[in-house]
């Protein structure tokens, strides 16, 4: 298979004391080997839950996989894998980079130990081979004096360096799939740019396929080849980066693009937020989930949830405006990259 990942109609809910939250409501996408795919959307859209489900990182309960399939590397059905199988896969074939490296690094363990642990346990490397690999990984992510660095603790590193260490840990086992969830959000702007540059470089150097989860379209433009836009637990639009930036078709994507500061004035530009809030996922609307915030909503939008309309081989969007009988609308903004 040329796909490292095939997600089909994935549904994930959380059982809470207040009822069932339908966090992911039928998500489908694929990831080709060597590809960088971005998943974008506001917080609460289901992008992190989707990623964490792919790695089975959310405990169940409270999360429940309600349906669908996640096929990894053409052979492993992730939704049906045991805890033990998942531990092995995560230690040898998948890596994850989180937003806040401080909470995912162990403060009481040297960086070297944190890199070598998985290599010894899951890949059967000897201690000395693992140590060598740790030094090599720290070098790869651009840390100077890696031989000394392996003996240091997380608090001895700056925020940007800690994120480099996280990347080193995630890549140490040469994963086939790397998932980065808001990898630069906690960092300041200059460091963000360096980490993005590093991840781009690594995606070219290593064989890993990458999913990058972000609300930052600047990250998408810099890193990804394809993009999935999620809203209220569903994919509302998907396409190549060019299709999404230059020819977006879904009103939510229009809103997202308009809410992006220009890349050259990133730090002080005004964000134009999309008015309104996402729907309550305890009781999702029966029609289009974006209808309450959409300036183009029509009668049918409140009644029937639109299917994805294919636009090209790579581009599709779920919106009634793409129906042949829909009234024409003028796209509100021209967005440049």
Quote the least distance from Cβ 98 to Mg ion, whole Å: 9
For residues 283 and 232, the answer to whether their CB atoms sit within 8 Å is no
- Three-state DSSP state, 153: coil
Interface with Mg ion (CB under 5 A), residue from 48, 63, 209, 253: 48
Output 62 or 276, the one with its CB closest to ligand SF4.
276
Dihedral of the CA atoms 85, 87, 89, 91 (nearest 10)? -150
Q: The dihedral of CA 80, 86, 90, 92: what is its sign? A: negative
Quote the least distance from Cβ 286 to ligand SF4, whole Å: 12
| Residue-wise DSSP of 110-144 | -HHHHHHHHHHHHH---HHHHHHHHHHHHHHTT-S
Output 45 or 119, the one with its CB closest to Mg ion.
45
Residues within window 238-277 making contact with ligand SF4, judged by CB under 6 A: 250-251
Does residue number 306 form part of the binding site for ligand SF4 (CB under 6 A)? yes
Interface with ligand SF4 (CB under 6 A), residue from 115, 165, 228, 301: 301
Residues within window 154-183 making contact with ligand SF4, judged by CB under 6 A: none
48 binds, among Mg ion, ligand SF4, none (CB under 5 to 8 A by kind): Mg ion
For 22, residues 6+ apart whose C-beta sits below 8 A from its C-beta are 11, 13, 66, 233, 281, 282, 284
Output 45 or 317, the one with its CB closest to Mg ion.
45
Does residue number 253 form part of the binding site for Mg ion (CB under 5 A)? no
Output 147 or 303, the one with its CB closest to ligand SF4.
303
d(CA 298, CA 321): 9
Contact residues: ligand SF4, CB under 6 A: 250-251, 288, 290-291, 294, 296-298, 301, 306, 319-321
């Amino acid at each position: 298979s040329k796909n490292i990942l095939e997600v089909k109609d994935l549904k994930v809910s959380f059982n809470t004391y207040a009822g069932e939250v339908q966090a992911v409501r039928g998500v489908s996408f694929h990831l080709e080997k060597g590809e960088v795919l971005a998943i974008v959307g506001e917080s609460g859209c289901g992008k992190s839950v989707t990623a964490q489900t792919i790695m089975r990182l959310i405990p169940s309960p409270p999360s429940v996989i309600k349906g669908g399939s996640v096929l990894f590397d053409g052979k492993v059905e992730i939704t049906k894998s045991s805890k033990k199988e998942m531990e092995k896969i995560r230690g040898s074939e998948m890596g994850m980079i989180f937003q806040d490296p401080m909470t995912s690094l162990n403060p009481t363990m040297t960086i070297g130990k944190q890199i070598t642990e998985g290599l010894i346990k899951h890949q059967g490397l000897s201690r000395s081979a693992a140590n060598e690999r740790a030094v090599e990984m720290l070098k790869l992510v651009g840390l100077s004096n890696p031989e000394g660095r392996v003996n240091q603790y997380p608090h001895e590193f700056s925020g940007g360096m800690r994120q480099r260490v996280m990347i080193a840990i995630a890549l140490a086992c040469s994963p086939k799939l790397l998932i980065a969830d808001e990898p630069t959000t906690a960092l300041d702007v200059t460091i963000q740019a360096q980490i993005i540059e590093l991840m781009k470089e690594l995606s070219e150097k290593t064989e890993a396929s990458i999913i990058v989860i972000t609300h930052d379209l600047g990250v998408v433009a810099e890193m990804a080849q394809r993009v999935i836009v999620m809203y209220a637990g569903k994919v509302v639009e998907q396409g190549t980066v060019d299709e999404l930036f230059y020819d977006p078709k879904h009103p939510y994507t229009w809103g997202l693009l308009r809410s992006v500061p220009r890349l050259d004035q990133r730090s002080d530009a005004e964000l134009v937020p999309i008015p309104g809030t996402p729907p309550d996922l305890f009781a999702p609307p029966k029609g289009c989930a974006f209808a309450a915030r959409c300036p183009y909503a029509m009668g049918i939008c409140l009644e029937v949830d639109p299917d994805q309309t294919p636009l090209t081989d790579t581009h599709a969007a779920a919106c009634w405006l793409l129906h042949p009988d829909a009234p024409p609308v003028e796209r509100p903004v021209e967005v440049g990259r």
